[in-house]
Amino acid sequence: MKNLKSIFEKYLERTDRLKDIKLGESDPRVIATEDNKFLAQLLEKQSIFNKNIIIVYIVMLCLLFSIGVYLVFRFIDSPNTMGIIFGGTFLSLLAIVDRLRKIWKEKSIMDMIRILIDGLPKEQIATVIETLYWNHIKKQD
């Protein structure tokens, strides 16, 4: 979520919506079409990077599973070694799957926002980004 947080912060900073709003202040500046294009470009770059990371993690998952299966058959006569292999492989697989889940969650949010950019008015997109940033992303810190 760090990447998504930085994307949201760049967009909110560009649109003057990252600072705290105080009573009596005027509304934030009007959102321009270029602001939403900027957001779409940031999301596109991060989406491509995330796709590559997902491929790397899936390859790692397959390799780790294959190595685990090989080692099990190699040390089939040694129960202690098999226990260590099963434990190490299982914990490693859990770590990789957890990281894949986090990337999938980030990718889902980015895909949703990319769809909203095409369908919502400019000001509502800024409101959606603000709401997601303050209520979801910022609370996870």
Q: Give the model confidence (pLDDT) of 77-136 as tens digits.
A: 888 888 888 888 889 889 999 999 999 999 999 999 999 998 899 889 988 998 888 888
Instruction: Output the pLDDT for position 69.
Output: 86
Place of tokens 């980015």: 110
- Euclidean distance between the first and the last CA atom of the chain, given in angstroms as a whole number: 10
The reported pTM is 0.79
